[in-house]
């Protein structure tokens, strides 16, 4: 695919797109150069914030303006809060890249627009990954502004380093309500939000805001107690795909293959790709990750390195015409795979596959809240990792200097199941596992997170089960 301007676009914000070479440091070499490379290869979780940072970095309004030729519309930033002044040179360069990327991701579907009288409101998100592994998330609300006659869609975009989609969707509701009155009404609300500390899991922050003709309002923003899944809505995958298909997508992600999601609307694309990545917990996808690929970046799907991307279905022919090998092409509209490697159903151990499918099929009628759905869907995948690699901590050998060294061979041999050993021997070679183990090797005391908690529960259940089995014998 040869698109005019694509080279310029990559040059402008290529630093936001990770390259595989940044992530393929062999574990042995990484240990030797740990001090030098540690900050470069670390992949932050989108939900590891415990409270304290600013809610957001920027609020942008992106509008469509006629380009110089007058033929098409060009997305343009028409409002920014807060305004940045007296920036240092490095900050100015980052600001320039950000300003170049934001409009493109807010209107990824190209420049061929016309004034409209009706347009379905869309809430979606995108992720910009810097070369050092840090991520910025764009939360977007695209809609037709109030007014008479035909008009063009507009996007409100909040940039934050914090992953909490439900909470930011509520903030966008408030921004939209104020923008219908006046841009001036947005400023005090966003200023109050920026001065408030991001709440810890389960906590609430209350903002006081004045709206003309309505008076003072109090807005409560509550963060979910389980912050592990606050950035996803796993119902999106259930609406579009069968349990078996979700399992095959999971199999592709754990082997770090190339995966393309197709959908008509931006909301479905971004929700499904975030949901697929979330099933990898406690591991993090460390390669190219673009929930919605702008038209001018469709060449991304020709990359020979791993990626997980979302593409609007209007560009399906461009995708099908691309030279791609070992790719899983998922049509979310039809609930089907248009391309696959063919072995997706054989990657995971059969017994553990059946356990996941059985668990997903149970108790669906009792699920009422988003949190309940998320826990029900993610739980079997967490258990999968516990049963395959949950014993990792016992196979880290500690030196007198406090440095850990993972014993890969004995770790794999410790699994009694042949099929599980076969899978784990492949999985330990991935960047998913390597980055996870590099973190585990840093401290003799494992981080007391959700995964460690579930490992402890699993081990306790096994201990209780053993005496019962011996009694029966």
In this predicted structure, what is the pLDDT of residue 224? 76
Residue 63 token pair: 């509008």
Q: Shortest CA distance to 437 belongs to which of 22, 39, 42?
A: 42
Model pTM score: 0.82
Domain assignments of the chain as residue spans, ordered by start:
58-228, 369-472
Question: What is the side-by-side strand order in the sheet with 307-312?
Answer: 288-290, 307-312, 258-263, 327-331, 336-339
Contact (Cβ atoms closer than 8 angstroms) between residue 274 and residue 165: yes
Question: What Å distances lie between residue 85 and 90, 196, 259, 319, CA to CA?
Answer: 13, 22, 41, 42
Residue 111 token pair: 């420049």
In this predicted structure, what is the pLDDT of residue 448? 65
First to last CA, the chain: 66
Q: Which helix (H) or strand (E) holds 382?
A: helix 370-389
Q: Which residues pair with 211 in a beta bridge?
A: 215
Superfamily classification of domain 58-228: Longin module (3.30.450.200)
Rounded Cα distance between 49 and 167, Å, is 14
Q: Tell whether omega for the bond before 87 is within 30 degrees of 0, i.e. cis.
A: no
Contact (Cβ atoms closer than 8 angstroms) between residue 289 and residue 297: no
What average pLDDT values come out for the chain (473 residues) when binned by 10 residues? 41 42 36 32 36 76 85 88 70 79 90 86 86 81 88 93 85 86 83 84 83 80 78 92 97 96 94 94 91 88 90 91 88 96 95 96 81 92 97 93 92 96 97 94 79 91 70 48
In this predicted structure, what is the pLDDT of residue 228? 78
């Amino acid at each position: 695919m040869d698109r005019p301007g694509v080279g310029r676009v990559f040059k402008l914000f290529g630093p936001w797109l990770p390259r595989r070479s940044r992530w393929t440091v062999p574990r042995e070499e990484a240990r030797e150069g740990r001090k030098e490379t540690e900050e470069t290869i670390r992949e932050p979780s989108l939900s590891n914030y415990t409270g304290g940072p600013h809610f957001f970095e920027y609020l942008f309004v992106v509008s469509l303006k006629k380009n110089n030729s007058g033929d098409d519309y060009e997305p343009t930033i028409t409002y920014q809060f807060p305004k940045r002044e007296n920036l240092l040179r490095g900050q100015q360069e980052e600001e320039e890249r950000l300003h170049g990327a934001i409009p493109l991701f807010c209107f990824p579907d190209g420049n061929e627009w016309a004034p409209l009288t009706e347009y379905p409101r869309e809430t979606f998100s995108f992720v910009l990954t810097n070369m050092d592994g840090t991520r910025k998330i764009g939360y977007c609300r695209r809609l037709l502004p109030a007014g008479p006659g035909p008009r063009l869609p507009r996007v409100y975009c909040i940039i934050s380093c914090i992953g909490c989609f439900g909470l930011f969707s509520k903030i966008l509701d408030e921004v939209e309500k104020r923008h219908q009155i006046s841009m001036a009404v947005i400023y005090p609300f966003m200023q109050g939000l920026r001065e408030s500390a991001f709440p810890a899991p389960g906590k609430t922050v209350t903002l006081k805001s004045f709206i003309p003709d309505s008076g003072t309002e109090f807005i409560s923003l509550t963060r979910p107690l389980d912050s592990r899944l606050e950035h996803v809505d796993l119902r999106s995958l259930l609406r579009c795909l069968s349990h078996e298909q979700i399992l095959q997508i999971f199999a592709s992600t754990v082997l770090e293959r190339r995966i393309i999601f197709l959908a008509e609307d931006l909301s479905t694309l971004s929700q499904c790709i975030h949901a697929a990545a979330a099933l990898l917990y406690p591991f993090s996808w460390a390669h190219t990750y673009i929930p919605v690929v702008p038209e001018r970046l469709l060449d991304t799907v020709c990359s020979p390195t791993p990626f997980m991307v979302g593409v609007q279905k209007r560009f399906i022919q461009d995708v099908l015409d691309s030279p791609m090998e070992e790719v899983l092409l998922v049509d979310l509209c039809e609930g089907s795979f248009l391309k696959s490697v063919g072995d997706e159903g054989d990657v995971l151990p059969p017994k553990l596959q059946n356990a996941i499918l059985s668990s997903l099929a149970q108790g669906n009628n009792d699920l009422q809240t988003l949190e309940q759905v998320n826990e029900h869907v993610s739980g079997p995948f967490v258990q999968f990792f516990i049963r395959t690699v949950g014993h990792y901590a016992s196979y880290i050998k500690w030196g007198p200097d406090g440095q850990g060294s993972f014993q890969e061979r004995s770790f794999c041999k410790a699994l009694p199941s042949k099929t599980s050993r076969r899978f784990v021997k492949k999985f330990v070679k991935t960047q998913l596992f390597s980055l996870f183990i590099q973190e585990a090797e840093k401290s003799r005391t494992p981080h007391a997170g959700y995964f460690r908690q579930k490992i402890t529960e699993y081990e306790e259940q096994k201990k209780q089960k053993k005496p019962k089995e011996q009694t029966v014998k």
